[in-house]
Structure 1
């Protein structure tokens, strides 16, 4: 039986799978489509053709640190969204566009070289092929008590799978409308699932490709807004490559999904005409790609079509909670604590679930091992103590930075204070461990490691990554550090040096914890 099945091969599902793969956990990812990516879809580019993002295009490093970190970690290249030049406004259907006084639209947004599909390829590239199955549609989930049974259709043929945990990395409305649950989910939870809008589900996006960004020669940014009643595209933007060659214009539909369906035979012609009205006859000659997400059954539901579009709320507790006694998790960007609906939110949700699955893998309440069962209370006490240390770590860092500034210690102060904070947390944890009345009679030693060691170290899962993220966010917004650019925004070399030091600290702590257990086992073995 599998430990975890992830349903949904979008950014959340793929990122979670990568987390499980890196920690050696057992999993399978299934996706109903014949491709990965979910709402991320990119028409590949070439030297003469820019990659066309038909789903999300942008991320904002200043407010989306997970995306920025992942792009860097995967070795992907990004560039700033072109945003300079005149912004146009078309208020009348039979009129001419007018310049708007504003100077920017997509403030500090960045795009990926090769399109956002490069992110999907990189995430999938970290996973063995055998861990992914396409064209597998989940239709029913059955809680069997000690596991969950999944009834699926693979290319239309019934397929049954079993797993100890199931993660639905899908939009909540899709979960409510396409999956049958036995037993049924509670009415309050179903109401929350149905009330959570699927971001951009009813939207239609077009990309028109050109050899060069000819509009830039006229001083136009490529940004435009169309507000008259007959508008086909409501918002237009420059979708070109970094230097404008190859080039493209992108647009978001202003027409409701039902109207788009009614005009399906002339819809493409209407889009070409809209581009031409804004940027001249040459804009009607582009190679056009259109993705109507309202027509995608694995993205959009009936509710998304009949209820006015809205942005999902951050941090809805019921969406972030485990269900069916910890066997069922809700994922997808809309379940995020921060940036729900965005790519950042998908990563947030994936990392939350990865932490929970990791904790459950070493949870003494789920284990039948005698050494863990005998030490249940001690392990829980240790985890509570570490949780408090983790919570207080950023406050200790802020205090340390203030102390460094007051003593005029500015060089490498982020690195120095971070190491001090981590050292304090590890020393306090070892002190807490020393005071625990552990029962080591059933503990085992394999290859020098005590069997209790992983369960204790699990309390620090993700600690350094979380702390470094909080530190970067603090530094970026700190007025006190604003006079030290190298500390306010850490460059790649500085981050790598910090991560090396933190990794070395972690190894020393893990060895010290294990050594303390070994010494206590020896004391137990010595007869009185």
Structure 2
């Protein structure tokens, strides 16, 4: 009889298992995939020049203490997000403009004032504490900013934020969920920032998955069971039984479930989760969050004075960044193909997905068909909605009205089943740091629960 069985070997599950172990508990980690890391997945380049991060990639050394402590513990190399050079904004097929990175795009004075008003309002709201009101939870983000007087270009920009941050349209998430997300992440500006004040400051020289791999080593290979999708979870009151599709059975005093809440309904949990828990989790959705990573022999965009960053209302790429690791001679642009454009793009065959991305990159940087744009040495694309054990990214989004209505049950333990994941984190929700934070808190919760009740004799 184990103390804890953890379902899911993403960052939150691994941290929960390691923290429980450190507290003296026996653990087993059961993972559906044949690898650890969950939505943190680093694919090796065929060129041997490092890795392409198909999932989470960015961290901050001063604002995210848990992930940074692991970077130091494991001696991992990092690189700063490159900001030098001009950025590009694409408004339409015909209109694009260049601007210094980090400033408000060059809209008309009225549009600029309106955008800054809406931005500053959301920033002020996102620095408050507690949950937003039920009233704010019952309107979409789009309706919320329009009610504040957002002009068309401002509403477009807010929609771009929703696409970039959550893979959704601003009509598809509540204003309260968006604001609460910002509150858990040190404000809207910190989420959007690519410098030392924000979440996109540093990347890994050898892929973000290296942290998961190293934590797994600390837990011990014998305690981690890969390629073992869970078929059922049975809470017997005195203990829990977890049965995998491969026929393995794990008995433990407690179970920590570390999968997105959107997927709970796909698990056979007995007894069934309470109606309120089912209502909120059955209606969470995961965004269309996709990446196309285009690797080159040299960073040709820098020679033209660009820093590789661009944003687009048009799509299919709605935002891109330079994700090169110069130390590895790895030069790449990571293109985010999110929201509605990503939904449509994901239905194309692979060669068409690649073609439309390259065509848009060429358009953004004003190059012709003979340019380096069309001569990548490698191209990756990752569609998280197509992943059986992810079904999208980053964190599940509650339905309109559900964030406040079900706050008392969402993420709270049910019997011997405890829930962790970046979606429940009080800080850096949607980031690696948030996953580690939730795993740490979930383990502490289990340790305290076990200490309160003596082990049952079976």
Larger proportion of helix: 1
Aligned to 2:388: 297
Matched positions, count: 353
Long gaps (5+) in structure 2:
104-192
In structure 2, relative to structure 1, the CA distance for the partners of 1:272 and 1:305 (3 Å cut) is farther
Q: Is the 8 A contact 1:16 1:351 kept in 2?
A: yes
In structure 2, relative to structure 1, the CA distance for the partners of 1:96 and 1:218 (3 Å cut) is farther
TM-score, normalised to structure 1, is: 0.62
* Secondary structure, counterpart of 2:63 in structure 1: coil
Q: Is the 8 A contact 2:6 2:256 kept in 1?
A: yes
Please give the residue correspondences for 1:406-445 in structure 2 after superposition, counting only pairs within 5 Å.
Answer: none
- CA radius of gyration, larger in: 1
* Secondary structure, counterpart of 2:273 in structure 1: coil
Pair 1:178-2:269 in alignment: no
Alpha-carbon distance, 1:138 to partner: 1.1
Measured in 1, the distance between the counterparts of 2:386 and 2:46 equals 28
- Residue in structure 2 matching 1:193, options 278, 281, 302: 281
Q: Is the 8 A contact 1:42 1:115 kept in 2?
A: yes
| Deviation digits for residues 241-265 of structure 1 (CA, Å, limit 9, x no counterpart) | 0558321110011424245214555
| Deviation digits for residues 201-253 of structure 1 (CA, Å, limit 9, x no counterpart) | 4211011111221211221110001222xx22110110100558321110011
With a CA cutoff of 8 Å and minimum separation of 6, indicate the structure with the bigger relative contact order. 2
* Secondary structure, counterpart of 2:248 in structure 1: strand
Measured in 1, the distance between the counterparts of 2:362 and 2:399 equals 30
Measured in 1, the distance between the counterparts of 2:422 and 2:429 equals 5
- Residue in structure 1 matching 2:436, options 313, 327, 347: 347
Please give the residue correspondences for 1:476-491 in structure 2 after superposition, counting only pairs within 5 Å.
Answer: none
Aligned to 1:237: 321
Alpha-carbon distance, 1:131 to partner: 0.5
Long gaps (5+) in structure 1:
370-528
Aligned to 1:208: 294
| Deviation digits for residues 116-173 of structure 1 (CA, Å, limit 9, x no counterpart) | 121122111212211011111112222212111223202xxx3333221111011111
Pair 1:226-2:315 in alignment: no
Aligned to 1:359: 448
Please give the residue correspondences for 1:97-116 in structure 2 after superposition, counting only pairs within 5 Å.
Answer: 97-103=96-102, 106-108=194-196, 109-116=201-208
| Deviation digits for residues 271-290 of structure 1 (CA, Å, limit 9, x no counterpart) | 12222222332122111000
In structure 2, relative to structure 1, the CA distance for the partners of 1:35 and 1:316 (3 Å cut) is farther
Alpha-carbon distance, 1:48 to partner: 5.7
Please give the residue correspondences for 1:239-318 in structure 2 after superposition, counting only pairs within 5 Å.
Answer: 239-242=323-326, 245-254=329-338, 255-279=341-365, 280=367, 281-286=371-376, 287-300=378-391, 316-318=407-409
Q: Is the 8 A contact 2:50 2:205 kept in 1?
A: no
Q: Report the RMSD for the aligned CA atoms in angstroms.
A: 2.9
Measured in 2, the distance between the counterparts of 1:244 and 1:4 equals 40
Measured in 2, the distance between the counterparts of 1:52 and 1:288 equals 10
TM-score, normalised to structure 2, is: 0.71
Please give the residue correspondences for 1:86-165 in structure 2 after superposition, counting only pairs within 5 Å.
Answer: 86-93=86-93, 95=94, 97-103=96-102, 106-108=194-196, 109-154=201-246, 158-165=247-254
Q: Is the 8 A contact 1:87 1:99 kept in 2?
A: yes
Please give the residue correspondences for 1:9-158 in structure 2 after superposition, counting only pairs within 5 Å.
Answer: 9-45=9-45, 49-93=49-93, 95=94, 97-103=96-102, 106-108=194-196, 109-154=201-246, 158=247
Aligned to 2:7: 7
